[in-house]
Chain A
Amino acid sequence: MSERNEGRKPKVENLAMQAPDGLDPGSRRSLLVARPSGAWSRFKRNRPAVLSVWLLAALLLLMVAWPATLRVAAFAGPNGAQFSQTYDPDHLSDEQFQPPGGRHWFGTDVHGRDLLSRVLCGAQISLLVGLVGAGVSLVLGVLWGAVAGYAGGRVDSFMMRFVDILYSLPSIIFVIVLITTLEGVLKKWLGGLAAPGLDRTVRLLFLFVGLGAVSWLTMARIVRGQVLSLRQRAFVEASRALGAGPAHILRRHIIPNILGVVIVYLTLTVPAIMLYESFLSYLGLGVQPPMASWGSLIAEGADQMNPIRIYWWLIAFPGGFLVTTLLALNFLGDGLRDAWDVRGGNG
């Protein structure tokens, strides 16, 4: 590490949020960050993580390409139109509960819809909800945590008590209340003029807000702990002594130094939010039919369970996609964490 680097991007102490204040500051859990180039080469050597990146990229490609193919095929003569109709995720047909086979690779569901198509279209919703929800939690958590940590004193303890109190409310009650409230407000606003498609989009938006709103707490705690410890470091004090204002200090010193932790924690938030979304869809609070997400597909499959015929593909395929994606995201998160040598992102 060059000297210049040392001055700019110092090691950060004690990221471990779980450690109570009294824990020995000299203990070894206190390392972090530094040269991005080193981090990058470390990351590239982590085979599962690199594989995960490719897997996620492939999934993204498939997710975009499949609906596009269907759309294009509709214009390609009668055969193409037939093709695009058979595999349209919303097209109902008489071929109900077909097991996976040559015509329908993943089988069909209770309404005779092609499951492959529904899984791939569900991927859009699931990933979108995961990413946007994580984004919401990122913005809220980082702002809240950074302000609390930087302001310190009474402001800090007030803000963190607020987080503590939200923590001790069962999150499921909070989400249900939030989503139903937003819905009620919307109905009052829009009245009768809402277009049918709009309703679903808005429902999705609620999902983003609701999921973001319950998952920013840990991020806020982590960021606050970071900022708190950074604020007292010599290089920040030196900067302050040189006459730098809070904005400059935040931009030049605090934010670059918490970036690693935040990114790592973000990659672990996305799977958590995707899990939560599947849970909400199972409750019927998530995306509304005929829209599908992996969670709602699994829920539909679970509804069709009966002792006489076993429609395993209804659970196995969406579940498999969900598990694989979660796995890839977790490997990616672990890889980034190891590459940056960030500790305590597990919250």
Chain B
Amino acid sequence: MYFIKRLVLLPALLLLISFLAFLLVHVTPGGPFDRERQPASPEIERALQVKYHLDEPVLKQYLRYLGLVWEKDPHGRWRHSPASFNVSLKYRSHTVADIIAQALPVSLSLGLLGFGFALGVGLPVGYFTAVRRGRWEDYAGSLFAILAVCIPGLVLAPLLLMLFALKWRLLPVGLWTSPLHVILPVTALGLYFSGKIARLLREGMLNTMSAEFITTARAKGLSETAVLLKHAFRLGVLPVVSYSGPLLADLLTGSFVIETLFQIPGLGLHMVNSSLNSDYTLTVGLALLYAALLVVLNLLVDFAYALLDRRVRYE
């Protein structure tokens, strides 16, 4: 019931987000045509403004964005004017849906691989540092995790590029075509999050391992592995689960630094450039995509929470 209610609220939230984002991008100074060649005359510029309805009040523009405007045509009849949410103001031969459809698969694969990398490295490290607390494995793993959290992609990516691509020429410098192209960007993207996940898991595991039900489980004579995996890990992983929602939403909508450095045609570039270019519709479209992803992923997170921890009840 709880989840249905939240799903029903999703469109309302998206509407609110779209309105907020629309307002935000419209109050920023400068318009979508500022960075283009100066039009031959003011009339041309005005014609462009009129064509894209940028001369109208913001509220009307917003209604038009949603396709809720009816206007009188020259014959005096009321006509529905088409919704403008799909018209990119910068790439005028493309629609917003087109642009997103081109870049999203790339960002999805990069983001998912990065997430996979983060889990694949972070979970084992977190698990073993917690289980072997206070021994050298713990120190080594924890050191790795904190180092990973402190090396931003901005530093790691150029260094990886210089070493593996430029100096030793083992891996390609950029682009997104073969499995070999995947290695460097995914490492640069995922390392930070693997450290974060390892730290969260270690913390969560240590918290659960001191709980009474763990002692009970041990007292019942369960094997140590069963205690750790079935009980401690199951609850200890909860912080990681709740962190995964926002993290995935971030990763899947692209990462600007990694995408520019490795020349990957993903969403991150559009995310930044559209707001720098005042490409209103594209910016709002991307904001909506992000918000929708975030809400759905958070819903999934809560769902996973309820599955993992039966004490959790939503109402």
B166 near A181 with CB under 8 A, answer no
Residues of B in contact, count (CB < 8 Å)? 60
B30 near A310 with CB under 8 A, answer no
Q: Is A339 an interface residue (CB 8 A)?
A: no
Chain A: minimal CB distance from B298 (Å): 9
B287 near A307 with CB under 8 A, answer no
Chain B: minimal CB distance from A18 (Å): 5
A176 near B158 with CB under 8 A, answer no
Q: How far is the CA of A323 from the CA of B167 in the complex (A)?
A: 23
A181 (CB) vs chain B CBs: closest residue: B28
Q: How far is the CA of A336 from the CA of B112 in the complex (A)?
A: 34
Q: How far is the CA of A300 from the CA of B234 in the complex (A)?
A: 45
Identify whether the interface residues of A are mostly helix, strand, loop, or mixed. Answer: helix
CB under 8 Å from chain B, chain A span 1-52: 18-20, 22-24, 27-29
Q: Is A57 an interface residue (CB 8 A)?
A: no
Chain B: minimal CB distance from A60 (Å): 19
B15-30: contact bitstring with A at CB < 8 Å (1 yes, 0 no)?
A: 0110011001101111
A18 near B30 with CB under 8 A, answer no
Identify whether the interface residues of B are mostly helix, strand, loop, or mixed. Answer: helix
A170 near B290 with CB under 8 A, answer yes
Task: Kindly identify which residue among A29, A183, A283, A298 contacts B155, using a CB–CB cutoff of 8 Å.
Answer: A298
A347 (CB) vs chain B CBs: closest residue: B243
Q: How far is the CA of A97 from the CA of B65 in the complex (A)?
A: 51
Counting chain A residues whose Cβ lies within 8 A of the other chain, the interface size class is 35 or more
B283 near A322 with CB under 8 A, answer no
Chain B: minimal CB distance from A25 (Å): 10
Residues from chain A with a CB closer than 8 A to the CB of B286 are 170, 173
Contact (A295, B256) CB under 8 Å given A176-B276, A302-B261: no
A20 near B302 with CB under 8 A, answer yes
Chain B: minimal CB distance from A319 (Å): 4
Q: Is B47 an interface residue (CB 8 A)?
A: no
A173 near B295 with CB under 8 A, answer no
Give the 7 A-B CB pairs with smallest separation, nearest first: A184-B29, A319-B155, A326-B150, A168-B291, A176-B275, A327-B150, A22-B313
A-side interface residues toward B, CB under 8 Å? Answer: 18-20, 22-24, 27-29, 165, 167-170, 172-174, 176-177, 180-181, 183-185, 187, 271, 275, 278-279, 282-283, 295, 298-299, 301-302, 305-307, 310, 312, 315-316, 319, 322-323, 326-327, 330-331, 334, 343, 346
